[in-house]
Chains A and B, each alone.
Chain A
Amino acid sequence: MAVEKYLSSLKEGIINLDFGTVVNAAKEAMAAGVDPNATINKGMVAGMAVVGDKFEKGEYFLSELVVAAEVMKEGVEVVKPYLKGSSTLGLGKVVMATVEGDHHDLGKNIVTSLLGVQGFQVFDLGIDVPTARIVGAVKEHQPAIVGMSALLTLTMTKMGEVIEALKSASLREKVKIIIGGTSVTTEFADRIGADHRAANALEGVKKCVEWVTSSERRQ
C-alpha cells in the first residue's frame, strides 16, 4: 500500500470514529516502515483537524470529539514505540487539574487529549486535586500553562485559591492560567485573576497554542 493510502485510512478512521480502522492502519503503516511522525501528523492529526472543524460547524458534538480523541490515542499507542526523540512534544508543558472537591473531568480530559495532539507535554493531575498538589506540580514541572476545571459553583472558588497560592509561591508570573467548566464565566475568571476562561475545549486549546506561539510566551 502506498504511504498516502495508510495516511488516508488513518485520517478517515479518525473522522469516522473507527477504532479498528485506525489501530489496524497504524500497525500496517509501522510494518511497512512509514515514518511514525508522518503517521501521526499527516494521518491522525489531519483527521482530528477535520473532526474539530465538524465540531465547530455543529456537525459533530462533544461526544464525537471525545471518541475521536480516544481513537487517536489508541492509534498513537501503536506508533509510540517507533518514535525517536520527542518531535511531537515541542510546544511546552501544561499542568492540568480538576480542583479539589470536584470530580468532573470530561472537559478537562478532552482538553488534555487535544493539547497532547497539538504537541504539548501535559501533566494531568486528575480530579479532586488539592491546591498544594497543583502548586507542587508547577514547581516540579515548570509549565508554561496551568489549566483548571470545575463544574460546580461550590468548587470553582478553589481556582481562586490556587491562583493565590501560586502568587504566594512566586509562581504566578511564570505561568498562564486557563480555567473552564459550566459555572465558570469570563467575569469570574477576571475576578480571580485567571488569564482566560475557555468557552469550550477547542477554544481553550487554541488559546494555549496562541500563548506559546506568540510574543506573550512565558518560559
Chain B
Amino acid sequence: MTEMTRRERILTASRGERADKLPFFHWWRHSQIGWAERECRNRGMGMAWARPSYTVELRDVDVVEQPVVVEGVKVLRRTYNTPMGSIYLDEKREPGTGEWHGMRSWQDVSPWQTERLIKQPEDYEVLKFIVEHTVYTADYFPIEQAKDWLGEDGCVVDIHPHSPMQMLMIDWIGSEGGRFFIHYAKYHDLVEDLYRAISKSREPMYEISARSPADVIWCGDNIDGVLVNPRLFEQYFMPEYEKMAKPIHRQGKLFASHMDGRVDVLKDLIAQTPLDIVEGLHPPPMGDLPIGEALSLWKDKVVWMGFAGSVYTLGPEATKKHTLELLREVLPGDRLTIAMSTENLVSNENLRMVTSVLENVDLPLTGEKIGVIEKSLG
C-alpha cells in the first residue's frame, strides 16, 4: 500500500475504512508551534483545524458593550436591546481573552460569563426574539483558506455551535449551581419554547454547513452524561442530531459531535444517533467509557479519541504506558483516530512520547506489533 498522507489517513479511518497507519493528530487550537511540534508532524502527526462556514447577523437587535464593575470585579457587559426588552451578560476578561493561546496563555483564551443572558422568566421572550432574528449567511472563505494552507497535512472541519438545548444549558442559562436544571423544572414551558425556536432558526445554518468545502461537519457539543442525562439526550439531542445529519449526509459529508465527558450512561443512545464520528471521547481515567467498549458498541461509528490530560500530568513515562495500554484495547485499530488533546496544551515531552508510540502503528494492529513498538521504546 502506498503511504497515505495525514489527511487521507484521518479521512479513510473516519469513513470506517482501514488506513495504512493509525491516524493521530493535534488540534491547531491546542497546538504549540516550534521544534517539537515540527518534529512530531514530520514523524506522522496530522493537524485538524475547525473553522466556520457562515457568518451571523442579528436583525433589529442593538448590541452594546461597556465595562462595568460588579462587586469589585471589572467585567464587560454586553447588552442586547430589542423591541421586546433588553437582556445582558457579563464577561470576566483576563489579559489575552479573544486571542489565540500563542499570544499569551491557554487559560485566558475564553472569557468567563459571570452573568448569563437568562436570569429570570421574562428574559426568555427577549432571547426568543433574538433567536428568531438571527440570520446565517454562507461564508466559505475560512474553510477554503484552511484547506489550502493545510493541504495534505491534515483535515479541516466545519464547526457548529452547541446544539439548541446545550446552548441553553451551557451558554444562556448556565449549569453553574444547577441553574439549568432548576429552570427546566420551574419554567419548563419557557425552556422548551426557546429550544424549539433555536432549533428552527438553525435550519438554514445546517444547510449552509452541509454544502461547505469541509469533509467533516462537527458539532462542538461538549456532551457529558452527568449534565446531559439520558432523558434529556433522548428528548432534545437525538432529534436535533437527526435534523443536522440529513443535509450533511445528502452532501456525502461526515457528521461528528464533541462528546468529551462521561458518556457511559449515554452509550446505548449514542449508538442510535446518525453520528458518523464521536469526537473527543475520553476513555478512563478522565471519562468512564473504555475505548474498546465504545468501538465494540458503536460498530457504524468512528471515534476521534481525546488523549487524557490527567495522564499528561504524570509525565512522559506514564504517557507511554497509557498509550500502549490504549493500543492493546483497540485491536486491530480500525475506526479510530487519536487527538493529542481536546482540552489544553501538551508539553513537548509528552507530545514527543505519544508520537514515539504512534508513529509506527501500522494497521491492522496486532499484539505482536505493539510488543515490537514497546521494545523499541526501551
Question: Which residues of A does B touch, CB under 8 Å?
Answer: 17, 19, 61-64, 66-67, 69-70, 101, 103-106, 109-110, 127-128, 152-154, 156-157, 182-185, 187-188
| Complex contacts, B309 vs chain A, CB 8 Å | 152-154, 183
| Complex contacts, A105 vs chain B, CB 8 Å | 176-177
Question: Which residues of B does A touch, CB under 8 Å?
Answer: 106-107, 112, 175-178, 181-182, 184-186, 224, 226-227, 229-232, 261-262, 265, 285-286, 309-310, 312-314, 343-344
29 A-B contacts (beta carbon < 8 Å): A19-B186, A61-B230, A62-B226, A63-B178, A63-B181, A63-B227, A63-B229, A66-B182, A67-B181, A67-B184, A69-B178, A70-B182, A70-B185, A101-B107, A105-B176, A105-B177, A106-B175, A106-B176, A106-B177, A106-B178, A110-B178, A128-B112, A152-B344, A153-B309, A156-B310, A182-B261, A183-B310, A185-B285, A187-B285
Which chain B residue has the least Cβ–Cβ distance from A103?
Answer: B112
Bound CA span A103–B178, Å = 13
Q: Return A106 CB to nearest CB of chain B, in Å.
A: 5
Q: Are B285 and A153 in contact (CB under 8 A)?
A: no
Which chain B residue has the least Cβ–Cβ distance from A20?
Answer: B186
**A19-B186, A66-B181 known; A154+B107 contact, CB < 8 A:** yes
Bound CA span A127–B112, Å = 12
Q: Are A103 and B176 in contact (CB under 8 A)?
A: yes
| Complex contacts, A66 vs chain B, CB 8 Å | 178, 181-182
Bound CA span A154–B178, Å = 23
Q: Are A67 and B178 in contact (CB under 8 A)?
A: yes
Q: Are A182 and B262 in contact (CB under 8 A)?
A: yes
| Complex contacts, A17 vs chain B, CB 8 Å | 185
Bound CA span A157–B309, Å = 12
B343 interface neighbour in A67, A104, A152, A157, Cβ under 8 Å? A152
Q: Are B176 and A153 in contact (CB under 8 A)?
A: no
Q: Are A63 and B344 in contact (CB under 8 A)?
A: no
Residue of B177, B261, B312 ringed by the most chain A CB atoms within 10 A: B177
**A103-B176, A183-B310, A185-B285 known; A153+B227 contact, CB < 8 A:** no
Which chain A residue has the least Cβ–Cβ distance from B309?
Answer: A153
